[in-house]
Structure 1
Amino acid sequence: MRLLSLALVLAATASAAMVKTDSTCVVTPLSNTPARSIGTVAPADRDVDPEAEPDLWADLGPFADPPPGALGALGYYPRPEPSRGSRPLPPPVEIGVQGNRNHHVPKDGALEARQTNTDDTPQMLDAFKQCGKDGTIIFKEGTYNIRQVMNTTDLRNCSIEIHGTFVWSADNIQYWLSKSFSVTYAGRSTAWLFGGRDVSMRGFGKALFNGNGQVWIDQNRNNANQNGRPISLTVWRGTNIFIDGITWRQAQFWHTFVAHSQNVTMTNLDMNTTSNSQWKAVNTDGTDTWNSKDVVIANWTVKCSDDCISVKGNSTNIYVNNVTCYSSGGMCVGSMGSNTGQPDYVDNVVFENVRLFDSSNAAWVKTYPGTGHVKNITFRNIHFDNVNQPIYVTSCIYSYPNCDSSRLGITDVRWENITGTSRYNVAVGIHCSSQAPCDKLQFSGIDIKPLKGGTSKILCSNIRNQASSGLQCTGPCPGSHPQQLSGNV
């Protein structure tokens, strides 16, 4: 009887803040759930001497503490400390990244749940498990503390509503660096793998994702890429995915990543990651697509320190519309072609109705000297103010000595109605590989003026039929011509 009573109490604790009704799971953050009495245990049943009964917890089977690194049935919830008559109770035990509650038995005999290092991850994952197929998951208002990685890639016909704030912990950096899920591309990893088939995630303009990015910025200390530094959300092997109405603040790394997915629509998203310290917010892209097709990105506002929207290798049918970017890298195809043994292809991409402010580039293509192709790309109605080098094409990003060895073709690229001010006097810088010259480039409605006055330069090299492209080049563009300038050329 004693063991059964304790097991029932523990089981009640485990499901306290997630309630399932039919096919709907409603989740309330643990921080909104006050400490409460969840049952009583008679003194005779709780005054247990574990030394006198060494097999007590083993008898509980799945309710026993799991071994390190494993999760038992109640692995997120440590067992209560037994009381011994009038002996003072021990202080709550710090649980770490796999715990969210500390239990002790007060003198009045009530088993009370108290929150230290609150972790909502277990109940969130439980909701995805119970209602992730043919169901609805509702996250109510409040703050959800996420201290563990999440893999929710097996969703089917699922609707997710987020009315609260998701906060990723930053006092356990080493956990994230070692446990974040690999996404294969360039050694990157993510805090949340999200996918499945026929899935919607709606934030209604209320949902807020906070990655505690300042902590990541400070510990990264201006390094370009840190292995294990997690992307906030990755759409992974998803089909028919819809994400709408979510705000990001202070992401850990890239805000989002779309990989190995098809028919993904992401609308009405607001992203902002900046630094208030001596260290820069490096590589906080708005989103990157890779090995994906049929992706729609619309109605975004992004403030970040790298590519606002980046279309990487093996992306097809990507449509970007009505995006405003601040302090970013603008609209970008690439980088791609870094693995010479693995061709990269990007086909059928449209960027249109884009506004850019104080950015490094506006409408550009960057490839390594690899193999594959970039084909049928349109940059249309791109307007900007104070952009370092608005139109830029390179066949050797980050590898300038090998610029003319690239066999990755760039063809059928159009720039239409591209207007604004450049920070310096170069409006266009294009260097294509001499082994694979750019072909069928078309320019119309190009009106770019230096911010401080003067005449714009248009630098070009290795463009087939350049005279009929609509671009009047004023001089050659060397392979070493950089992506960002430090002054007039």
Structure 2
Amino acid sequence: KKKKNCISVFKVTMAFSRFEVKAVFLLGLALLSYRVEGARRGLAGADVTVFDVTTRGVKGVGKTKTAPGASDGVGAATTVFDVIKYGFKGDGKTNNASASPAASPTASPNAGATAGPGAGATPGPAAGPGPAAGATAGPGASATAGPGVGAGATVFDVTKYGAKGDGKTDNAMMFIRAWNAACQSTGPAKVVIPEGNFMAGEVFFKGPCKCSGPIIVEVVGTVLGHTDLIQYTAGVWIGFQRIDGGLLLTGKGTFNAQGEASWKYNDRKNNPSSPLLPISLKFQFVKNALVENIKLVNSKGFHMTVTSCNNFTLQGLRITAPDESPNTDGIHISRSDLVKITNSVIGTGDDCISIGEGSTNIGVSGVTCGPGHGISIGSLGRAQDKDVKGVTVTNCSLTGTTNGARIKTLTNSPQIAVSGVIYEDITMKDVKNPIIIDQHYNSKNSNKASNVKISDVHFKNIRGTSATDVAVSLSCSEAVPCEGVELVDIDLTYSGARAASISSSCSNAKATFTGKQNPPACA
């Protein structure tokens, strides 16, 4: 009887064990089903990029089959990557492992995380098949540009990459995606910012590019700078870097940095070592470039800098900011060769044009300047600064500026040189210092002389009115006096409020005076 009871207990225990196993098994299935359903629902709203293979020209053998999820909402708002569009064939014979170079991450701008247009939340028109299925154009590009700038180039419209001209959306990443797609294409390419107000934080357009000929950026609408300074980690709003195949930045559009919201944070007057506010447009290591017809308004810091560039032309520009806006230089050039600025109107709170260290073969003509601090060479004399050679400024007019034709160097400087400078055919109206060499710039911070050697400098046919009674000031270095300074046909009259006779002032300057001299030449 005892044995029989043990057997009964054993059978009951086994029954419970089987029940427990079955319960656990069913519970596991339920959990798995729940996870799968949750994943399916999550994918339905996820920002997944979809590449439909049929957009790459693939034709399946047999009946067309709708991809899973196309009808039930899974991935409904995503960009589709269909392998057929990358050259795959569903014929059971073709080896699809190497079906198309388009499947390579380097072949398509969509493949990379940083370059992929359409990788944003809303694929929009970019999700559809582009006119060129291969690496040449990619999704989001139109076949060719119409008549006008860049005719025949493939157009990369930023709105096809998710950009919105509503004045609120931060379009920085959308701009970069459009640029990357154009830059990595193999034919002529043009990035277009159409009509609208496109706000953006920090943006860098980087090369080198694969497209043939110069890459074109056409700005039709208005680009607005983000007003939150935290958005700018590199002191730049929009940068163009390492483009050696040529660049054309054109259009009738405007870059408005909305700097008026940030100028109160500029403390350079009280603390010269404090950082500058972000530059609106910075070109660095760019060769064979043309920037034309665009407008720049109210930069936070400098409106434009051209650094380490070669064969760079700027023409037809309009740059404006109030005269009280701090350090808003119009165009600053440094360490660049063969830079030409023509037929532009510039009025800012600092130098209209400043030609900095390491600049060679610089030409400025047809520029209207004012308000501002004039057309200046310098300031020069910081550590690591390089020589400036070959600067010609002709046929320009300045109105109401604090300086006219100016060369400025710092005290206690390294030994560098400025030579081969011509200011010619310049008109001044109510300019405070029409002709000035100032080698004691920022002298309150040091009583040591400047070591910047200035020579072979020519001021020719400069006429108009001076707002101060000293119209010509040549204040050269005690350590390295100016040499070869020439003034020819100077005709400046005093326009100030108080009664005064106009004069010249010269120190440590070996200068010659020929032709008409008003004010009278230095004794």
Matched, 1:118 2:160: no
- Of residues 479, 486, 508, the one that matches 1:435 is 479
Equivalent residue, structure 1, for 2:361:
317
Picking from 405, 409, 414, the partner of 2:453 is: 409
The 2-side partners of 1:34 and 1:197 are apart by 30
Does the 8 Å contact 2:243/2:286 carry over to 1?
A: yes
Query: Are 1:442 and 1:470, in contact at CA under 8 Å, matched by a contact in 2?
Result: no
Distance 1:379 1:20, change over 3 A: same
Q: Compared with structure 1, are the counterparts of its residues 300 and 219 closer, same or farther at alpha carbon in structure 2 (3 Å cutoff)?
A: same
Matched ranges for 1:466-485 at <5 A: 466=512
- Structure 1 residues 335 and 15, CA gap change in structure 2 (3 angstroms): farther
1:360 aligns with 2:402: yes
Between the aligned partners of 1:469 and 1:406, the Cα distance in structure 2 is 31
Is 2:266 the counterpart of 1:220?
A: yes
| Equivalence for 1:160 | 217
For the 8 Å contact 1:388–1:422, the answer to whether it is kept is yes
Distance in 1 between residues matched to 2:480 and 2:314, nearest whole Å: 35
1:129 Cα deviation (Å)? 0.4
Partner of residue 351 from structure 2, selected from 285, 290, 307: 307
1:27 pairs with one of 157, 169, 175: 157
The residue type equivalent to 1:244 in the other structure is E
Question: 1:131 deviation in Å?
Answer: 0.8
In the alignment, the residues of structure 2 paired with residue 4 and residue 396 of structure 1 have an alpha-carbon distance, to the nearest angstrom, of: 76
CA distance in 2, matches of 1:221, 1:248: 23
1:78 aligned partner: none
Report SS of the residue matched to 1:128: helix
Q: Does 2:469 match 1:388? A: no
Distance 2:359 2:216 in 1: 26
Q: 1:227 to 1:458 in 2, by over 3 A?
A: same
| 1:348 aligned partner | 390
Distance 1:31 1:241, change over 3 A: closer
Name stretches of at least 5 consecutive residues in structure 1 with no aligned partner. 36-114, 182-189, 478-489
RMSD: 3.2
What is the match of residue 495 of structure 2? 451
In structure 2, the residue corresponding to 1:118 is in which secondary structure?
Answer: coil
The answer to whether the 8 A contact 1:308-1:330 is kept is yes
The residue correspondences of 1:83-482 to structure 2 (distance < 5 A) are: 117-133=168-184, 134-155=188-209, 157-170=214-227, 173-181=228-236, 190-204=237-251, 206-220=252-266, 223=269, 227=275, 229-274=277-322, 280-339=324-383, 342-369=384-411, 370-399=414-443, 402=446, 405-452=449-496, 454-464=500-510, 466=512
Larger Rg: 2
The 2-side partners of 1:365 and 1:309 are apart by: 12
Q: CA deviation at 1:232?
A: 0.3
Contact 1:236–1:259 at 8 Å: present in 2 too? yes
Q: 1:166 to 1:6 in 2, by over 3 A?
A: farther
Q: TM-score of the superposition, structure 2-length normalised? A: 0.66
The CA deviation at 1:216 is: 1.5
CA distance in 2, matches of 1:151, 1:27: 15
1:48 matched residue in structure 2: none
- Give the conservation status (yes or no) of the 8 Å contact 1:461–1:476: no
C-alpha contact (below 8 Å) 2:161/2:178 kept by paired residues: no
Cα distance in 2 for residues equivalent to 1:238 and 1:152: 10
Identity fraction in percent = 23
TM-score, structure 1 as length reference? 0.70
Q: Return the offset for 1:21.
A: 3.2
Deviation digits for residues 51-106 of structure 1 (CA, Å, limit 9, x no counterpart) = xxxxxxxxxxxxxxxxxxxxxxxxxxxxxxxxxxxxxxxxxxxxxxxxxxxxxxxx
CA 1:475–1:356 in 2, change beyond 3 Å: closer, same or farther?
closer
Which secondary structure state, in structure 1, belongs to the residue aligned with residue 253 of structure 2?
A: strand
Residues in 2 aligned to 1:351 and 1:281: alpha-carbon distance in whole angstroms: 25
Closer/same/farther in 2, CA of residues 225 and 400 from structure 1, 3 Å limit: closer
For 2:357 and 2:164, the matched residues in 1 are separated by 49
Aligned partner of 2:182: which letter? C
Q: Distance in 1 between matches of 2:289 and 2:332?
A: 16
CA deviation after TM superposition for structure 1 residue 435, in Å: 1.8
AA aligned opposite 1:25: V
Separation (CA, whole Å) in 2 of partners of 1:400 and 1:330: 22
Distance of 2:155 and 2:371 partners within structure 1:
40
Task: State the AA in 2 paired with 1:459.
Answer: S
* Aligned-partner Cα distance in 1 for 2:427–2:203: 39
Match of 2:131 in 1: none
When residues 140 and 472 of structure 1 are mapped into structure 2, their CA distance, relative to the original with a 3 A threshold, is: closer
User: Using a 3 Å threshold, how does the CA distance of structure 1 residues 468 and 405 change in structure 2: closer, same or farther?
Assistant: farther
Q: Secondary structure at the match of 1:329?
A: coil
Note if contact 2:167-2:198 (Cα within 8 Å) is conserved in structure 1.
Answer: no
> 1:383 deviation in Å?
0.6
Larger relative contact order, structure 1 or 2 (CA cutoff 8 Å, min sep 6)? 1
Name whichever structure is richer in strand by fraction.
Answer: 1
- Do the aligned residues in 2 keep the contact of 1:377 with 1:412 (CA within 8 Å)? yes
* Residue type at the aligned position of 1:253: G
Deviation of the 1:380 alpha carbon:
0.6
Size of the aligned set, in residue pairs, is 381
